[in-house]
Amino acid sequence: MRPIVSLAEGERISELGDVGPASREIDARGRLVLPGCVDLHTHLASTPTFKPLDDFEHGTRAAIAGGVTTVVSMVYQEDGSLRRGIERGMRDAGRSLADFAFHVVVTDPSDSARAELLGLVRDGHAGLKVFMVSPRFVERRADYALLLRAAAEARAVVAIHAEDHAIIAARTATLHASGRTGVQHFPESRPVEAEVKAVVEAVDLAESTEAAIYLVHLSSRAALDAVREGKRRARVFGETRPLYLYLTRAQFDRPDAALWVGQPPLREPDDVAAVWAALADETLDTVGTDHIPHTRAAKLAPGLSFDRIPPGVSNLETLLPMLYSEGVRTGRLTITRLVEVLATAPARIAGMYPRKGVLAVGSDADVVVFDPHVRRTIRAADLHSACDYDPYEGWDVTGWPESVISRGEIVFDRGDIRAHVGRGRFVSRSAAT
């Protein structure tokens, strides 16, 4: 087999193909040489009231060890100001090992927040996030529509958590009233119909405002059908997250089910099949981790009702190897499609393409040398997240990153993190392409 050779001069790729001798050579025979992955959905930044277990330093250790060289983190509007949230994110990201950018969560879609948009986009912050699942969305629907219209004009993409607040609130109240507050009731508190109703409403909003929307963590067949239909009439991108590819609601029969609590909940085997099919047929554009782990103790704290368990899990380090092992090796995804959903499409949607997401002359030299044959058993103790458990503990995986290069620098090599804290750089975003 002829080795693939690429040459990074400085931080960018200057030549591809059969290049001459270099000062440093990596033998990639028998390996896959992939563009660094771009994760459009993480929660590594703090808020005034919350400090994540995996902050930028710990989260991006896990990221680069898993081949993710660019992370996009949520930051939250602060004291009414979108920019203040981004400034906090920038401070936190001062400890990032990976390159980074932000989506800013809009909790108060005020006139002044809308007025900030053009300036933010000019400064490379072309991403917002809206939680339809929040009661505020219900109270301020008209203002959120104005926000989406302003985002369309500013050419910012709007990430949307699509679950219907009213349905979930009603289900939760009914379960509580009958004393069914245990974690096993979490899935029924957030039914598929809540996801579908919100997806349809989000697509309607995208159609009427002409905003580009990015529907995060899609989990069910019916929601994916709504996305498929929505893509015909509006600018709609779709994301799923790893949990929905590998696990089902059966997890909630376990006594430690709280370890897998995330929003939306795990679904049925038929939904898992639909998520795989939607990744292959391009209804889904990306897999984003929604990385936000909490310790076992926090997840399993005694007496927590199902709606009080902190949602979210760790996923940055296993994103690429599990999708390779469970997707490419099983024939459910081609390797080309894996690169699209983990690198190229997220870079395009984030407005970072072709700087990120592709191996091309002029692009940042973000490269994963991936060993497709190595076998590993996932153990939290071997991973770089600060979390003390992994949602896939004990899974056998074939294929793992061997070396990871970020802007020409070897940041991970055969198990060792080589990057220094704070080397990550802000990646300016423009409009989605």
Extract the tokens encoding 138.
Answer: 């219900």
Q: Which is nearer to Zn ion, 42 or 181 (CB)?
A: 42
Q: How far is the CB of 40 from Zn ion (least distance, A)?
A: 10
Q: Cα separation of 190 and 205, whole Å?
A: 22
At 84, give phi and psi (nearest 5°). Answer: -65, -35
Residue whose CB is less far from Zn ion, 143 or 290: 290
Least distance CB 92 / Zn ion (angstroms): 16
Structure tokens at 397: 């995986």
Backbone angles phi, psi at 128, to 5 degrees: -120, 165
**Nearest alpha-carbon partner for 113 in 159, 139, 137, 144:** 144
Assigned token pair, 266: 């795990």
User: In terms of CB distance, is 92 or 290 closer to Zn ion?
Assistant: 290
Minimum Å gap between C-beta 58 and Zn ion is 17
Residues 32-61 that bind Zn ion (CB under 5 A): none
Q: Which CB sits closer to Zn ion, 290 or 366? A: 290
Stretch that binds Zn ion, among 116-124, 132-140, 178-186, 286-294 (CB under 5 A): 286-294
H/E stretch holding 368 reads strand 367-377
Question: Among residues 290 and 340, whose Cβ is nearest to Zn ion?
Answer: 290
From 102-110, 183-191, 283-291, 298-306, span contacting Zn ion (CB under 5 A): 283-291
**Which pair of structure tokens corresponds to residue 245?**
């590819």
92 part of the interface to Zn ion, by CB under 5 A: no
Nearer to Zn ion, 239 or 402 (CB): 239
Give the pairing of strands 213-215 and 396-406. unpaired
Return the range that interacts with Zn ion (CB under 5 A); candidates 168-176, 270-278, 288-296, 326-334: 288-296
Residues 6+ apart with CB under 8 A from 329: 372, 398, 399
Stretch that binds Zn ion, among 22-30, 58-66, 207-215, 285-293 (CB under 5 A): 285-293
Of 18, 36, 29, nearest to 339 by C-alpha is 36
**290 contacts Zn ion (rule: CB under 5 A):** yes
Q: Tokens 């920038």 label which residue?
A: 90
Q: Give whichever of 290 and 307 is closer to Zn ion, judged by the CB atom.
A: 290
Q: How many residues bind Zn ion (CB under 5 A)?
A: 1
In single-letter form, the type of residue at position 270 comes to D
CB of 43 to Zn ion, least distance (A): 6
Binding site for Zn ion (CB under 5 A): 290
